[in-house]
Amino acid sequence: MLRQLRPQSALFKQSPSRLLATCMRAYSIEATSASTIKLQDIDPSKLSITKTKTPKELVPPNELVFGRTFTDHMLSLEWTAADGWLPARITPYQNLSLDPASCVFHYAFECFEGMKAYKDKDGRVRLFRPTKNMERMNKSSARIALPTFDGAAMIQLIAKFAAMEERFIPDTRGYSLYLRPTMIGTQRTLGVGPPGSALLYVIASPVGPYYPTGFKAVSLEATDYAVRAWPGGVGDKKLGANYAPCILPQLEAAKRGFHQNLWLFGDEEYVTEVGTMNMFVAIKNKETGQNELITAPLDGTILEGVTRDSVLSLAREKLAPEGWIISERKYTMPELFEASNDGRLLEAFGAGTAAVVSPVRNISWKGNLVECGLRPDQEAGEIAQKMKDWIESRQYGDEEHEWSYVVPK
């Protein structure tokens, strides 16, 4: 609950978009100046480590299920509005003990990231574009009045943690250590207000390919009865709040035999995201015959995917010189339907950290099964396959690239 204030007589006069910009800026400036002037930011040199006395047995890589088994330890940092970030701790993986009134249980004060640590051919541990994850996490946390932090300092801590858990990272291609930075509000009151305390923690889970059967094209059901995100909402942030409401449409799609649902938006039936991934389509232009790789623009309803950004960068680097147009633009189901009927829909795929690239075979939409360019015996299109290879090459360090962050030994 906010404390009572008298209304000011001078009223705020700004356009809505400027107002939001001002608000968001004011908020992060406050947060930044607060942390530099009065409050402690994250200081990696203050890390304390308590090692487990009961190391876990490793699960054979082929038995790994996404996000089900975890490593020996966890990294955690407490924050209070009075002190800022307290020293980080690596401890044995353990339950959190929280007051049942903690605001994370009631008002969804929670945001997270998904990132991975890979083992390269020389046995070194590598993170992939961790700066992107920290930038996004700060945007997510600021949007729900959780604290921001020094991303570079946090990457140092995550790197130390990943190095400690190195034995859990399978050295088989396609396998990695999934890292889950999570921030939750821990204030113990039911008043709806900004949390006065928070916990940032990272857990790690050794994972194989997200889809257990491997690189296999999926069938989607277009969802038009529920809406994932909207302008002025929070669908572009990685908040817990965006996930629980997605399950029912996923279950409904699964009930009718589809692997994932495809989120549409508006009367125009814009294609936005697939399940919990960004969506890409490759289309041959009707007039020019030119190939175009398309994904929805970051208009506030689309998650700023790190893999999405990697796909776009790689496409501009490697496909554009071959004559491809790379577009961040709105596109619709009717447009895909027409392209499919004309044989111009070359391929479609989802992109996300968990699956990297997930080829799409077809989309159920208004009683039609819109085919997405794959032959019946084909599980991935040419672009999806290339993207997976290009991205993995940088993730696993086969190609030295600034996207790869080598964890110090």
Nearest approach, Cβ of residue 301 and a second copy (Å): 10
Where are the extended beta strands (E) located within 340-379? 345-352, 356-365, 368-371
Residue 205 contacts residue 66 (beta carbons within 8 Å):
yes
Q: Contact with a second copy (CB under 8 A): which of 8, 48, 54, 288?
A: 8
Cα 205 from Cα 195, distance rounded (Å): 28
Q: Which residues is 274 bridged to in the sheet?
A: 262, 277
Q: Contact with a second copy (CB under 8 A): which of 58, 81, 86, 246?
A: 246
Residues 288-347 close enough to bind a second copy by CB under 8 A: none
With contacts defined by CB under 8 A, name the span among 92-100, 155-163, 303-311, 387-395 that binds a second copy: 92-100
Q: Name the DSSP letter for residue 332.
A: B
With contacts defined by CB under 8 A, name the span among 231-239, 303-311, 334-342, 385-393 that binds a second copy: 231-239
Nearer to a second copy by Cβ, of 4 and 45: the residue is: 4
Contacts by 92-101 with C-beta closer than 8 Å and gap 24+? 92/50, 92/51, 92/52, 92/53, 92/54, 93/52, 93/203, 96/199, 96/201, 98/186, 99/186, 99/188, 101/188, 101/189, 101/190
Q: Does 190 bind a second copy (CB under 8 A)?
A: yes
Nearer to a second copy by Cβ, of 59 and 246: the residue is: 246
Cα separations in angstroms, 252 against 66, 128, 170, 220, 258: 22, 34, 35, 11, 9
Cα 307 from Cα 327, distance rounded (Å): 16
Q: Does 133 bind a second copy (CB under 8 A)?
A: no
With contacts defined by CB under 8 A, name the span among 142-150, 161-169, 283-291, 391-399 that binds a second copy: 142-150
With contacts defined by CB under 8 A, name the span among 34-42, 102-110, 160-168, 311-319 that binds a second copy: 102-110
Other CB atoms within 10 A of residue 399 CB:
12
Nearest approach, Cβ of residue 209 and a second copy (Å): 11
Nearer to a second copy by Cβ, of 243 and 324: the residue is: 243
Nearer to a second copy by Cβ, of 12 and 402: the residue is: 12
Nearer to a second copy by Cβ, of 294 and 306: the residue is: 306
Nearer to a second copy by Cβ, of 37 and 247: the residue is: 247
Nearer to a second copy by Cβ, of 327 and 368: the residue is: 368
Query: Does residue 133 sit in helix, strand or coil?
Result: helix
Nearest approach, Cβ of residue 215 and a second copy (Å): 13
Cα 8 from Cα 13, distance rounded (Å): 13
Cα 147 from Cα 84, distance rounded (Å): 8
Residue spans of alpha helices (H) in 129-179 = 130-143, 151-164
Q: Does 29 bind a second copy (CB under 8 A)?
A: no
Q: Does 189 bind a second copy (CB under 8 A)?
A: yes
Q: Contact with a second copy (CB under 8 A): which of 245, 297, 334, 408?
A: 245
